[in-house]
Every structure is written in structure tokens, then in C-alpha cells.
Structure 1
Amino acid sequence: MTNLPDSAGSPNPSPVAPGPSQQIRGIVYTALFAALFIAFSFVQIPLGFTPVPITLQALAVMLAGGLLGARYGFWSIAIVVLLTAAGLPLLQGRGGLATVFGPTGGFIWMFPVSALLIGLASDRLFRGVTRPGPKRVAALAASIVLFGIAFAYLTGVPWLAYKADTSLARAMVLGCYPYLAGDFIKAAVATVVIVLLRPKLPRLR
């Protein structure tokens, strides 16, 4: 049975088992994006009235999932979260269970899942093409907003309400509304970077 041509007009390559070079490359990229996630966590702007600072962590999560794909994107973020829980001061210079289960814990737990889901969407949207069309770019942007922003608030805000012993409405003021404009800017930046750079990255799968 012959391979059907993809949307770019070239036949789909047959799936092959990853070789040692691919595995090493995947480990290197996982480590690099884990380091990026850590570095971005130190870029923060405290707002004073809330324990949730403005950071670039969400942007690192979006880029990890979109550029590395589901598998390596997930592990690049999950490793940092696990090491932070073990006590290493990796997120904003803090570590331990008090960090992972602190007021911002609901956002931290969701970060690996967000990278995984964005990676799944990116893997699917870039399959068989090197230059995604407008519809695929729009779908990528929508997946980043859904999985990288909405899902983070889905767990982050209720946990913040619980830790701050306040109402859900008050938690939205403390942990959601002030950050939405910045989050959409991060999603737009991530979409542009992923569209430009993902086709240039060596295949990790």
C-alpha cells in the first residue's frame, strides 16, 4: 500500500523507531527548556495585593509544548515541578512542598499538563506540513489559549481561593483578572515563535 501525499504534496514518511541520536537530542532539548522554564520563573513582577506575581512561566510552558511536542514538552516542565517538590529552589528561587502546595500551587500542577496538551495539538497541526496555513495557525493559537491559559486558571484560581480562605469571586480578582491581558500577549508571542521555529527544529519523534 502506498503512502498518500500530505498537504504539502510529499509522501508521509513511514514511522521509524527513534535512534540513539534522536533520544540524546530529545534529552538535550528537554534540559534546555527545563532551564528556560526555571529562568523565566525568576522574571517576576509582584503586584502587592496578591501572592501571585506576574512571571514568564506560562510563556515557557507554551513554547515547550509547541516546539518540543507532547512527550518532551511535558517532561521538560514536569521534571522542574518534581525537583521543586523535592526541595530544589528552582521556581522563583523557592522549593519544597510549601512552594508546590502554596497559593500558586494550582497553577504549578497544571503547567506540565498544559505543555502536554499544547504539544499534542502542535504535533497534530504540524504533521505533514512545514508551513502551516492560516487555519492551522489559528487552531494553534486557540489551543495555546485553551490549554495554556484557561486550563491554568481552572485549577489555579480554586486552589488560590482555598489557600487564601476566600471566595472564588475574590480569587478571580487576586489570581485571574489582572493577568489576562499579559497572558494573551504571551499566547500571541508563543504562536509566532512556534510557527517560525518548529519547522526548523530537528525531528524529535
Structure 2
Amino acid sequence: MTSPSSSNSSAASHSSNGTTPLTPAASAAPDGRTTIGPLAPSRASSGWIRSTVYTALFAALFVAFSAIQLPLGFTSVPITLQALAVMLAGGLLGARYGFWSIAIVVLLTTAGLPLLSGHGGLATVFGFTGGFIWMFPFEALLIGWVSDRLFRDGKRFGPVQYALLFAGIFVFGIVLAYIGGVPWYAYKAELSVHAAMIGACYPFLPGDILKGIVATLAIGALRPVVPGFRRIRR
């Protein structure tokens, strides 16, 4: 009969010379379940796929919302839902993927695809509303930056967090848009800044604030509970 010590020595020798296959190390997943080492790349891959799919979906949402427009007779700037799509992309996808979901559309539009209100090419991105178009990706980036920090610890989303989120959307999704859009509109239309504000800011400001409120409520309600938004890798 073999003694326990000799059995242990034999097992150790087999392991050291490579004749016995090693068992993959187990690790604890964030939800408490035990996973095997080789599964980690698969989890990372699924996270990347999920993020890519959501990026494409919000790019499509941005294009769809761009097609919804209400022309105004006194200005060449129409009312659209583009700003709402930008706010939602940044707030729900976060800084990185929110930025790319909008930037991809802007780049493809620049290349000539008719993605923004059925128009595309350099004439669109350098037209009267070009300043607004250029700012869209950066608005999503900065709104996402705010949202990432508010949702980082998974804490309960209360009135203070809603107020901070709306403040971020107002500054980075509304004020920043006009900082980039109004001067360019004034330049293209050969107007004074005051006249450009009348044509490209004042009539749209109440609607943009309403969009900001809608986006704030939607982001606060969806991002903490929808698995796809909660698990997007930064």
C-alpha cells in the first residue's frame, strides 16, 4: 500500500514534469459566482460587442432624430431632435461610446452620406448649422463624462444626482452648442452676433431646455437598471 506522503510526492512530480494537465484557476465574478480563467476573454469580448452594438444603435437614433425637423420661416436653422439624441447618447453610453456614436455620423456625413436631415457632404458640415454639427460629438463626450461619474458607484439616483445631471446637460449639451453654433451662423449669414442669437438661439432655447429635462429623466431612469447601459465598458 502506498503511503500518503509517497502519493503526494508522486503527484507533485507528475505536475512538475508536465504529465498532469493543470486545472484552470477559478476566480470570483463581480456577482459572486465562480468562473474559470479561460472564460475571462469571452466576457471581455461580449462586453465589447455590447458596447459596439449600442454605439451603432445610438448613431442610428441620431440619424433618425435628425430627419425630424420643423422649418421656421425667419431663420435657416430648423427645429430638430438632434440635440436630444446627443444628450441621450452621452448620458446612457458614457463618454467614450457616446462620443463615437455621434462622431461616426458626423464623419460619414462629411464624407458625403446624406445622414443629417437627408443632407451630406462638406456643404452640410460647413453650412449655416456647421458650428452646431461640429460640437455634437464633444457635447456627447462631456455629458457622458458627467454621467459616468454620477453613476460610477452604483448609488441610488436621487434629486441631487438628477439636478447635477441636468446641470451637466444644460452646460455641455445646450450652452456649448450655442457657443460653437451661433458665431459660425453669424459668420456664414453675415450677421451680427445679436442678430445671429435671434435667428439661431433665442427661439430654440425653451425647446432645448425641455429636451434637457426629458433626457435627464430618461437617463436617470434607464442607466441604473438596464443591463446593457449599466455594463458598458468604459
Instruction: State TM-score, norm by structure 1.
Output: 0.90
Residue 177 of structure 1 aligns to a residue in which SS?
coil
The answer for the alignment partner of 2:232 in structure 1 is 204
* C-alpha distance in 2 between matches for 1:51 and 1:201: 41
* C-alpha distance in 2 between matches for 1:130 and 1:59: 25
Q: Deviations over 1:93-139 (max 9, x none)?
A: 00000000100000000000000000000000011125312111100
Residue 59 of structure 1 aligns to a residue in which SS?
helix
* C-alpha distance in 1 between matches for 2:135 and 2:210: 20
1:88 Cα offset (Å): 0.1
Equivalenced residue count is 190
The answer for the alignment partner of 2:182 in structure 1 is 157
* C-alpha distance in 2 between matches for 1:53 and 1:144: 21
Structure 1 residue 62 and structure 2 residue 62: aligned? Answer: no
The answer for the alignment partner of 1:182 in structure 2 is 207
Letter paired with 1:28: V
* C-alpha distance in 2 between matches for 1:131 and 1:68: 19
For structure 1, the residue ranges without an aligned partner over 5 or more in a row are 1-15
The answer for the alignment partner of 2:148 in structure 1 is 123
* C-alpha distance in 1 between matches for 2:210 and 2:191: 29
Larger radius of gyration: 2
Q: Quick check: 17-26 or 69-78, which moved more?
A: 17-26
* C-alpha distance in 1 between matches for 2:81 and 2:75: 17
* C-alpha distance in 2 between matches for 1:115 and 1:124: 14
The counterpart of 2:161, out of the listed 136, 140, 156, is 136
Residue 135 of structure 1 aligns to a residue in which SS?
helix
Point out which structure has higher relative CO (alpha carbons under 8 A, 6+ apart).
1
* C-alpha distance in 2 between matches for 1:90 and 1:131: 38
* C-alpha distance in 2 between matches for 1:112 and 1:130: 28
Residue 84 of structure 2 aligns to a residue in which SS?
helix
Aligned positions of 1:92-107 closer than 5 A:
92-107=117-132
1:201 Cα offset (Å): 3.4
The answer for the alignment partner of 1:5 in structure 2 is none
For structure 2, the residue ranges without an aligned partner over 5 or more in a row are 1-39
Identity of aligned residues (%): 68
